Structure 1
Amino acid sequence: MDPKRELTSIDLAALVTELNRYEGAKVDKAYLYGDDLLRLRMRDFDRGRVELLVEVGEIKRAHAAKPENVPDAPGRPPNFAMMLRNRLSGADFAGVEQYEFDRILTFEFERGDENTKIVAELFGQGNIAVLDETGEVVRSLETVRLKSRTVAPGAQYEFPSSRLNPLTVSYDAFKRQMEESDTDVVRTLATQLNLGGLYAEELCTRAGVEKTIPIEEAGDDEYRDVYGAMEELRATVKSGDFDPRLYVEDDSVVDVTPFPLEEHEREELNSEAFDTFNDAVDEYFHRLDLSDDEPEENDNRPDFEAEIAKKQRIIEQQEGAIEGFEEQAQQERRRAELLYANYELVDEVLSTVRGAREEGVPWDEIRETLESGAERGIPAAEAVRGVDGAEGTVTVEIEDATVELDVSTGVEKNADRLYTEAKRIEEKKEGALAAIEDTREDLADVKRRRDEWEQEDEDDEEEEEEEPADIDWLNRESIPLRTEEYWYERFRWFHTSDGFLVIGGRNADQNEEIVKKYTNKHDLFFHTQAHGGPVTVVKATGPSEPSKEVEFPDSTKQEAAQFAVSYSSIWKEGRFADDAYMVSPDQVSKTPESGEYIEKGSFVIRGDRTYFRDVAAEVAVGVQCEGETRVIGGPPSAIEGRAETTIRLQPGQYAQNDAAMMCYRKFRERFADTSFVRKIASADKIQEFLPPGGSQLVED
């Protein structure tokens, strides 16, 4: 038999029980392998190191793994992994839930400043979405825009449509679902009851019911036998009392289950027992990986065709979503118009139901009264198709459309609600139109990169040539993106012309954090004479590196001083220069003199200071193309040597966002690849490097 490559809904239900035993574990770091395997390294007080793996590609799984079964850490982490590290470092694992009976797991993490959910979609194309506390998508591996649901950054996460859950269904609902089928017993269990082929056959075997019996020949005896077997399965899953098995055929693993299956025993498969289902799943996928064919030699050539196919698939989804949005908006608007066109009938329905509720008539009695009225031919009652007491709604059918009405309001407000919904859907359509243009640009970029790669292969098939040092980036039609995220990017930052990292606080909280957490004894501390400036620190070494003494050049010190002055309050005041001073970290203290008070973000400086007099308030922003592609900003002498093109700014009359937009427009004029500028140097990204207050652009 073919080996299992995806966990079933039953498997996930069993795993949830075991994975929740790791509640309270702290997250250390996140890794992303390729574009479908996520690894979270955690620490558990009782169990030590915990490695959580979630894979959503050809193989779909989620489990804790033994350290020896975890792949080596990949190279430089991509943006998705860096984003997770920023959100999850030090967070507590708060538990995992399965969405209904679907192959969707939601992992929840709690941290003082922000809570995060990771939704793993282990079905179809597979996806991982990261949500904030409100359920809004922060980032996802795949953007999904379908008629039925949207998964995209900035949008509320939408689960797929609900499916019947065989682990909670009542016998009456189970029997009704079976009787409505037009196929045999096992296929009905597999599809209508959502059990899948293997477990549908297993239930028939356990119940002693012939699986190929047509539904019309099955009766209450067969249904009760199958339902009884399903109740036993439900009890086992909920109790967590498993007897896991890993099944082997011809020395290769083929399946893993939380309990022995009679179906596999009939097939005479060899089995191995495990203490926990999680351990069995970990071993199964570890050995499945080892049994896969050896990968072909990799020549480091990106899989352009796969990327192109992926972009084309996304475009098809987006086009389908746009059509769906148009249709939905039209339907909602037509429903609203039908309410007005049949005002008297709708008003009579609402008034009748609302009046009965005000008199305390139960919903069931209202439903019976309406059914009786329909039998007597009363038009308003005949239009009613359903009553929902829990939601306080009544559904009517007008012409060929059904409309759900809120009985607590009148016709006008119900119609307004439908018009509002139509407008909301049209706004989603506008977002989808913008997204499809972005995807088309991305597709064009991939095709251009493929063509460039193939051209380079023709020039030299054996070695990969570096970009020539004198490449004309401004006139290049397509510039490849090479961007990573770093720990210091949430602060103000730049690299000096000598290569040293300088960081500064954006507010009082960050000032405190930089001094307490990111300042070592061999760093340099800068500040301005003016009140309201950023704490500025020149780093001798990185935060994870051992502190060591270095010799800072005068140029680095001068640039750090200009950074401290430029991002201080003097820029807001419209002044063009001020003094800055430098001290060593051991001169900086939070302990005030007796009787004095220190505000948050402020510090006491003791000892001698080295002053930098009359330092110019001036910054430059630019677009870096060599090495990494990104916006950079800071002292002109540090930025102009690193960026392909720059703009200088001084204190002036343009608000920060207006100045950022002016810079963005100038960069678009300078680059032939305008889509590159839009992605790398948007006005929002430029604004992060502008001082607070008004600015003016310094003409060349």
Structure 2
Amino acid sequence: MNASYLELQRLLNEILSIIQGARISNVYHMEDDSIILKIRSESFAGELRIIPGKFLYLVEGSYEKPKELTHRGKALRSLLANARIKAAELVEGERVIIFHLEKGGKELKLVCEFLPKGTVIVLDENYVILESLHHLEMRDRKIVPGERYTLPPAKQSISKDPIPSILEKLTPKRSIVSALAVEAGLGGRYAEEVIYLAGINPSKKVKELSRDEFKKICEAIQRVLDQAKCGGPVVAFSPEGEVQALPYPMESLNAKKWRFEEAPSLNEAFRLAYERELARKLNEEKRKAIEEKINELEKRAHERRFSAQRLLKESEELRKIAEKLFQLSPQIEHVKNKPGRHEIEELLIDVDAAAKKLKIKIQEKELEFNADESFMRQVSKLFDDSKKAGNAARKLLNEAEELEKKADKLRRGIREAVEQAMIQVSARIKVSKGKWYDRYRWFITSEGFLAVAGKDASSNISLLKKHLEPSDLVFHAEVRGAAAVILKNGKASGEASRKEAAQFAATYSRAWREGLSQMTVYYIEPHQISFTPPPGHYLPKGGFIIKGERKYLTVKLELAIGISENLELIYGPPEAVSKKTKNFVKLIPGTKKAGDLVNEIVTILCRELNVNARTMKMLKSEIAELIPYGRGEIAKK
């Protein structure tokens, strides 16, 4: 996963106003080879994570740091700590960002290269390299301390140079998608998007393109540039599990069955995508290490079981031989001092009188006995040997069982290890001041309008007095004890948004507690509301007076609660929630208590997600607060 020039351009635009003037309080070299600048200003405290060769992003929070700082990390810290960020710029047409710093009255430059051999470089005011994360020697430049820093060879800038003039310079014999990616500087992802939008075969040579096709490509490039600047950022997931932050949902990827999760900014999209990628890699490492231990335990258990089976077989054979010899011992005693070969039933007995030995062949085995010793005592020893082999086998089987139990315990612990890995790579996000409507209940309608509801009588009045504007609409259920809902800019909304706002008002009303399936809701314009009672009348707490005509809607009492891939909790009317995620449950009035209901909801929503214990606990707490009147039931889809 990496960022193109267009994406870096937008990323820098998003974060520049936040980091400009901020002080770098500390520097860390992370295990993934990224550099974290801990920065602080009067209005912001957080971390800028720079992943050389890939991208950067800003987070209002902090990451878990390595216990020890690397040698290069220490060198960068000594140079950058306590420096102030004066400005930052993206080099035209290149994936290089230069931060202009000031420390102790001296100017410094922090160069972040997001090229394939990416690195982080500190320069003095004369562009002499003081230190770099990686010391590199390339064909046209050196990045080592003491050398003067030079930028990579200049390239055309697709966002600055006229598009037709760039296309005219493309190599005629090159395929159009390759030429756009490399020579026009679009990169592979955007080159493929342009060709897809233009409807042209990507393998077609530049010289084979018609004038009309060139025109289509120009139009497609301009469309892509506009979307890269102003489109709605997303985290994209391929069918194979690849994850990528994008400034907008690309049509070429949508055609390849990629799915998209909306993000509030491209910066946040890169954070979410990278943390997910880090978690995946760390999960694989953790899982691989645990599975190696499991394989070793199972191998040892298998060896013990194999040896145990061999010993059990040997024990059984010895026991049967001993029993047979015990049965025939009188006959054997009779012949054990008579030289020559004797046959007693299926036994062949060879007696060597001179050596005072006798050899007995039984069940394909040949056993040797001493003629001077008691034959029964020697048979008894065979019984002892059989018993010892059996005991040894049982000991090995017990050891195998213990090893298998350890393997099973490790196998059950894989999920816990994965959860710990996810906690380790995820930023501990600070609770920000947020939007004004975060203190209320709210959702975004399927048409993109904001609907905000009070939580009680007091917040109803606060909401209406502080945030009601002439262009809004107000919704209220035809029952006492209901939420007041403001549909912001509601006069411009369509029927779908008004129905969803009405449904939200009905859901958070006493109608839910009474178990009703439908409710009538009215809506009015702001000028129809008054907080002053007529002379001689009393207005109860949380009450308001409505003048003029009301418009009515009858809606179902339904509440959808869902979760996105980045674990964002989404709730509201089902139609609105389904626009944001397919992973949701639908609640209707019922008698099941919130405690039991929350466990069911979380189990369903997190079934296919890697959710750590801390996040699971937080989700349960947040969902419990959303359930109207603390009870309901899950509707069948």
Q: TM-score per shorter chain, which class?
A: 0.3 to 0.5
What is the TM-score of this pair, normalised by structure 2?
A: 0.42
Larger Rg: 2
